[in-house]
């Protein structure tokens, strides 16, 4: 396997007295697809947010690529997020008053400069070439999630984070989204870390870790035979 893109040691995160993440050592290899499972409140979302530069750990060390996330300022973290990370949310979180293509362009704008042609082709890649001008409210859940994916990959991130991206979708849409992500990963070679409740979704990854109460309790390698 290639070099590790993420290395943590003794990573903790506590909110006041509540300890969401107990000291955690984790390595993620470059290009790996890691599924994170656990109950609600097991700390899996916290871990994801910390690795995506959205949240700061309380202690320990965290390296993503060449960046030491604990050393970055707030604007440094913003730069890290736009250059390194693509995030897919369960709730999609699209800007309601912007069309699909504008939502993708928004990510381009914060990253560098908007490029409409490129944003269109990204939407075409996720199969939304026919709904470029629609606002999020006019799209189905699966379609919104695909806009979200197009937005997440537009800046060629090294790291794609999914926070239960299929949590709100029916089975058929879930399969389509997972298939799409697999295809995109084959082309773009990014690392995927996906938090999920769903055992079936988790098996799409190379490896699954199980968190409970902020502690890594189990780790298993998945057979690559799913499809």
Question: Which residues of the shown chain bind another protein in the complex (CB under 8 A)?
Answer: 45, 49, 52, 54-55, 74-75, 78-79, 81-83, 85, 87, 89-91, 93-98, 102, 105-115, 118, 122, 151, 154-156
Toward another protein, which CB reaches closer, 143 or 163?
163
Shortest approach of another protein to residue 198 CB, angstroms?
A: 16
Cα atoms in the Cβ-side hemisphere of radius 13 Å centred on 181: 32
Integer-rounded Cα radius of gyration of the chain: 17
> Structure tokens of 195?
């938090």
Shortest distance, CB of residue 107 to another protein, whole angstroms?
Answer: 5
Nearer to another protein by Cβ, of 106 and 176: the residue is 106
In whole angstroms, the minimum distance from the beta carbon of 115 to another protein comes to 6
Residue 160: CB atoms within 10 A of its CB come to 24
Nearer to another protein, 70 or 175 (CB): 70
For another protein, the closer of residues 103 and 208 by Cβ is 103
Which is closer to another protein, CB of 83 or CB of 206?
Answer: 83
CB-nearer residue toward another protein: 104 or 192: 104
Least separation in angstroms between residue 57's CB and another protein is 12
Q: Is 188 exposed, middle or buried (0-12, 13-18, 19+ CB in 10 A)?
A: middle
Give the shortest CB-16-to-another protein separation in angstroms: 14
- For residue 97, the minimal CB distance to another protein (Å) is 4
């Amino acid at each position: 396997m290639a070099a590790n893109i993420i290395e943590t040691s003794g990573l903790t995160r506590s909110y006041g007295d509540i300890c969401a993440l107990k000291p955690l050592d984790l390595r993620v290899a470059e290009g790996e697809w890691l599924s994170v499972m656990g109950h609600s409140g097991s700390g899996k979302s916290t871990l994801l947010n910390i690795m995506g530069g959205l949240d700061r750990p309380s202690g320990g060390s965290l390296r993503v690529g060449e960046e030491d996330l604990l050393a970055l300022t707030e604007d440094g973290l913003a730069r890290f997020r736009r250059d390194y990370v693509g995030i897919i949310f369960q709730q999609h979180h699209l800007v309601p008053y912007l069309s699909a293509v504008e939502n993708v362009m928004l990510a381009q704008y914060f990253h560098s400069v908007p490029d409409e042609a490129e944003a269109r082709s990204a939407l075409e890649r996720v199969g939304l070439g026919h709904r470029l001008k629609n606002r999020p409210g006019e799209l189905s859940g699966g379609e919104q999630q695909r806009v979200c994916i197009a937005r997440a990959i537009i800046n060629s991130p090294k790291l794609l984070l999914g926070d239960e991206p299929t949590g709100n979708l029916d089975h058929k849409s879930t399969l389509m989204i997972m298939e799409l992500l697999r295809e995109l990963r084959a082309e773009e070679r990014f690392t995927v870390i996906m938090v999920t409740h769903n055992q079936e979704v988790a098996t799409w990854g190379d490896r699954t870790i199980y968190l409970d109460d902020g502690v890594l309790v189990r780790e298993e390698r998945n057979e690559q035979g799913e499809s």
